[in-house]
Amino acid sequence: MASKPFTPEEARRIVQCLQTPAVFLNMTTDWPALHWTVEHLSTCLTERLRFRIGKRTEDMAPLFETECSYIEATIKEFLSWTANEDESLVGPFSGYHCKELWAYADYKYITQLFQDKPAMFQDVVWSDFGFPGRDGRDSTLWIGTQGANTPCHLDSYGCNLVFQIQGRKRWHLFPPDDTHCLYPTRIPYEESSVFSQVSVVQPDLKTFPAFRRARVHTVTLQPGQVLFVPRHWWHYVESVDPVTVSVNSWIEMDMDDGARVGEALTKTIVCALKSAPSLDNNDHWLNPTEVFTPNLLKFFAAEYLSNIQRQTSNQLYIGCFSHKRHCGEHSRHRLFGSASYFRIGILKYVIYECAKLVYMKT
């Protein structure tokens, strides 16, 4: 077998230094996960997954998760639906017309999917990119049909490696410097995702004129390729083949600490606003993955207090916030170097995050 174009050390250096998106070729030729086609996955994953359903037609407004339908189905049922020509299907997909709709089992934590088959974690070999021990346990799985898409957003934490396994996906990426052209919003709220109000494939330029100046980088990712998405790059992603499978891993970075404070405060504020009765306090605020109860607010307040008390000589830790929708363990991250920097930093974030929310609510 031909050798890979980069050693793990070289690949890691690229991932840590590169400021623009890039596609790695020939890095996954020996990864067992190359065989994770939807047909193969249907034999090893027999439990039902949640599929998000949307219309294939393109709209001038992004289709957020809050506006989608959801069904629970097995991958076998999903496969029969995609192959079904006469629409005579029984089961969870019956009544959903595959010519008009797309389905997406998106953002599935592999650690949960394969908890009874832990050997499969090693099928994803991020150590080839210089991240020893990183494998399927630190990755998420995405299975979709043609047209399945994720609205344009940026991730608050880390950079991203995306391994395309089956079918092709088209990525539209925008640099962080173009944020003002993308009209950011935190509604629908999802921890660590900032959504764009613009439908990037059919933009409403009357409402969002600055989008004209956004500098798009597009790439169609092919099976076997790995896309590197640098920190804070906006992305809209759409499946272009009848069935697509991909796996990604967000790689946390030291510089995420500031973003974690911002996210913690945003969550607290959203939680407070959600706890207050008001007419426009409706479910369209929250992505379906976010759950809030009044008790959660108390929990976050208590977390802050204990974080502040936990302050040691010149370090401060914040619990609870790692990657969005994170499952399982609460990680603890070093925050700022000194208490005074912390106070200035936190004040800045409180004002910024409050101002953003108040602006959007009014």
Enumerate binding residues for ligand AKG (CB under 6 A): 106, 142, 150, 155, 160, 162, 169, 235, 237, 246, 248
| Cα distance between residue 360 and residue 165, in whole Å | 39
Least separation, in Å, of the C-beta of 309 and ligand AKG?
35
Q: Quote the least distance from Cβ 102 to ligand AKG, whole Å.
A: 11
Nearer of residues 48 and 170 to ligand AKG, judged by Cβ: 170
Tokens linked to 289: 């993955």
**Which residues are 154's β-sheet partners?**
194
Nearest distance in Å: CB 121, ligand AKG: 18
Closest distance to ligand AKG from the beta carbon of 325 (Å) = 11
In eight-state DSSP terms, residue 234 is: E
Is the CB of residue 236 less than 8 Å from the CB of residue 200? Answer: yes
Query: Which residue in 20, 23, 19, 166 sits closest to 6, CA to CA?
Result: 23
User: Is the CB of residue 12 less than 8 Å from the CB of residue 126?
Assistant: no
Burial of 315 (0-12, 13-18, 19+ CB in 10 A): middle
48, 108 contact by CB (below 8 A): no
> Residue 273, Cβ neighbours under 10 Å: how many?
18
Comparing CB distances to ligand AKG, the nearer of 255 and 347 is: 255
Nearer to ligand AKG, 96 or 142 (CB): 142
Nearer to ligand AKG, 78 or 336 (CB): 78
First to last CA, the chain: 60
- State in angstroms the smallest separation of the CB of 279 from ligand AKG: 32
CB of 210: closest distance to ligand AKG in angstroms? 23
Give the residue with the Cβ less far from ligand AKG, 103 or 237. 237
d(CA 243, CA 151): 19
137 or 332: CB nearest ligand AKG: 137
